[in-house]
Amino acid sequence: MPDRRILVTSALPYANGHIHLGHLVEYIQTDIFVRFQKLRGHRAIYLCADDTHGTAIMIRAKAEGRSEHDLISGMREAHLADFAGFQIAFDHYGSTDSPANRTLCGEIWQALRDRGLVVSRDVQQLFDPQAGVFLADRFVRGTCPKCSAADQYGDSCEQCGATYSPADLVNPVSTLSGATPEVRSAEHLFVTIETLHSFLETWTTSSGALDPRIANYLAGHFLGEPLRDWDVSRPAPYFGFEIPDKPGHYWYVWFDAPIGYIAATSEWCVAHGESLAAWWHRGGGNDPPAEIHHFIGKDITYFHTLFWPAMLEAAGLALPTKVRIHGFLTVNGQKMSKSRGTFLMARTYLDHLDPAALRYYYAAKLSGGIDDIDLNLEEFAAKVNADLVGKVVNLASRTARWLETTGLATTYPDDGGLFARAAADGAEIAAAYEQCDFARAMRAIMLAADRANAYVDAEQPWKLAKAGAAAAEKLQQVASVALNLFRQITVYLAPVLPRLAEQVGDLIGGPIRSWDESQQPLVGLPVGPFQPLMRRVEATQLEALLAAAATQPPSPATLPPQGTATMTESATDSGEPLAAEPLAPECTIDDFTKVDLRVARIIAAEEVPEARKLLKLTVSLGGDATRTVFAGIKGFHEPAALIGRLVVVVANLAPRQMKFGLSEGMVVAASGAGSPGVFLLSPDSGALPGMRLH
RNA sequence: GGGCCCGUAGCUCAGCGGUUAGAGCAGGGGACUCAUAAUCCCUUGGUCGUGUGUUCGAAUCACACCGGGCCUACCA
Do A214 and A255 lie in one domain? The reply is: no
Averaged pLDDT for residues A602-617: 71
Tell me the pLDDT tens digit for each residue of A447-477.
999 999 999 999 999 999 998 888 999 999 9
Tell me the pLDDT of chain A averaged across its residues. Answer: 85
Do A165 and A255 lie in one domain? The reply is: no
Q: A43-52, A318-327, A614-623 — which is least confidently predicted?
A: A614-623
Q: Which long-range contacts (CB under 8 A, 24 or more apart) does A577-581 make?
A: A577/A672, A577/A673, A577/A674, A579/A673, A580/A672, A580/A673, A580/A674, A581/A672, A581/A673
Do A141 and A226 lie in one domain? The reply is: yes
Q: Which long-range contacts (CB under 8 A, 24 or more apart) does A418-422 make?
A: A418/A451, A418/A452, A418/A455, A418/A481, A418/A485, A419/A481, A419/A484, A419/A485, A419/A488, A419/A521, A421/A448, A421/A451, A422/A448, A422/A451, A422/A485, A422/A488, A422/A489, A422/A518
Whether pLDDT at A673 is above 60: no
Q: Which domain-ending residue is among A481, A499, A518? A: A518
Averaged pLDDT for residues A378-399: 92
| A439 in contact with nucleic chain B (CB within 7 A) | yes
Q: How confident is residue A70, by pLDDT bands cut at 50, 70 and 90?
A: very high
Inside any domain, residue A672: yes
Listed as ranges, the nucleotides of chain B within 7 A of a protein C-beta are 3-6, 11-14, 23-26, 32-36, 38-41, 69-76
Identify the CATH number of the domain in which residue A275 sits. 3.40.50.620
Compute and round to an integer the Cα radius of gyration of chain A: 29
Inside any domain, residue A102: yes
Whether pLDDT at A572 is above 70: no
Inside any domain, residue A493: yes
Q: How confident is residue A175, by pLDDT bands cut at 50, 70 and 90?
A: confident
| A194 in contact with nucleic chain B (CB within 7 A) | no
Residues 6+ apart with CB under 8 A from A547: A341, A676
Inside any domain, residue A335: no
| A503 in contact with nucleic chain B (CB within 7 A) | no
Do A371 and A310 lie in one domain? The reply is: no
| A374 in contact with nucleic chain B (CB within 7 A) | yes
Can you give the distance from the CA of residue A635 to the C1' of nucleotide B76 in angstroms? 53
Inside any domain, residue A540: no
Cβ-based contacts (< 7 Å) between A 612-671 and strand B? none
> Which residue type does A72 have?
I
So what's the pLDDT on residue A87?
95
> Which residue type does A117 have?
L
So what's the pLDDT on residue A571?
28
Do A65 and A152 lie in one domain? The reply is: no
Inside any domain, residue A562: no
Do A394 and A500 lie in one domain? The reply is: yes
So what's the pLDDT on residue A252?
93
Identify the CATH number of the domain in which residue A476 sits. 1.10.730.10
Do A276 and A385 lie in one domain? The reply is: no
Q: Which domain-ending residue is among A518, A548, A564? A: A518
Closest nucleotide C1' to the C-alpha of A533: B36
The Cα–Cα gap between A117 and A274 comes to: 32
Whether pLDDT at A561 is above 50: no
Identify the CATH number of the domain in which residue A644 sits. 2.40.50.140
> Which residue type does A277 have?
A
Whether pLDDT at A417 is above 80: yes
Averaged pLDDT for residues A512-517: 95
Tell me how many domains chain A contains: 4
Closest nucleotide C1' to the C-alpha of A401: B34
Residue A296 contacts residue A323 (beta carbons within 8 Å): yes
So what's the pLDDT on residue A192?
92
Rounded to 10 degrees, what is the CA torsion of A241, A243, A247, A248? -50
Inside any domain, residue A673: yes
Tell me if residue A149 falls in helix, strand or coil: coil
Do A263 and A231 lie in one domain? The reply is: no
> Which residue type does A208 have?
G
Upstream peptide bond of A181 is cis (omega within 30 degrees of 0): no
Can you give the distance from the CA of residue A440 to the C1' of nucleotide B57 in angstroms? 29
Predicted TM-score (pTM) of this structure: 0.80
Do A377 and A458 lie in one domain? The reply is: yes
Inside any domain, residue A151: yes
Do A301 and A428 lie in one domain? The reply is: no
Q: Could you tell me the residue range of the domain that residue A507 belongs to?
A: 354-518
Do A254 and A141 lie in one domain? The reply is: no
Whether pLDDT at A555 is above 70: no
So what's the pLDDT on residue A156?
65
The Cα–Cα gap between A166 and A183 comes to: 9
Cα angle A639-A646-A151, degrees, rounded to a multiple of 5: 135
Q: Which domain-ending residue is among A206, A235, A264? A: A235
Do A47 and A144 lie in one domain? The reply is: no
**A124 bridge partner residues:** A185
